[in-house]
Amino acid sequence: MRTQTVEDYLKVAYELQQEHAQVTTNALAERLGVTPASVSNMVKKLAEMALVIYEPYRGIVLTEAGAKIALEVIRHHRLVELYLAEALGVPWDRVHREAEKWEHVLSEDVEERMDALLGHPTSDPHGSPIPTHEGSIERRVCVRLSQLKPTQSARVAEVSDHDPALLRYLGDLGLYPNVELTVLAIAPYRGPLTLLIEGEQHHVGREAARHVLVTRVGDETPDSTPQSRSKESEA
- What residues make up the domain containing 71? 67-139
18 and 73 fall within a common domain: no
> Any idea of the CA torsion for 114, 116, 117, 122, to the nearest 10 degrees?
80
231 domain residue, yes or no: no
DSSP 54-96: EETTTEEEE-HHHHHHHHHHHHHHHHHHHHHHHTS---TTTHH
25 domain residue, yes or no: yes
221 domain residue, yes or no: no
Sequential pLDDT tens for the chain (235 residues): 789 999 999 999 999 998 887 899 999 999 999 999 999 999 999 999 999 999 887 889 999 999 999 999 999 999 999 999 999 999 999 999 999 999 999 999 999 999 999 999 999 999 999 999 999 998 888 999 999 999 999 999 999 998 999 999 999 999 999 999 999 999 999 999 999 999 999 999 999 999 999 999 876 454 444 443 334 434 3
pLDDT in tens, 115-145: 999 999 999 999 999 999 999 998 888 999 9
Q: What is the pLDDT of residue 21?
A: 77
148 and 83 fall within a common domain: no
Q: Structural domain tally of the chain?
A: 3
CA angle 195, 199, 203 (to 5 degrees): 25
47 and 74 fall within a common domain: no
Q: What is the pLDDT of residue 232?
A: 40
79 and 121 fall within a common domain: yes
Q: Last residue of some domain: 62, 87, 104?
A: 62
Q: Is the backbone of residue 170 left (phi > 0), alpha (psi -120 to 50) or beta?
A: alpha
Q: What CATH code is carried by the domain that includes residue 30?
A: 1.10.10.10
pLDDT in tens, 202-219: 999 999 999 999 999 876
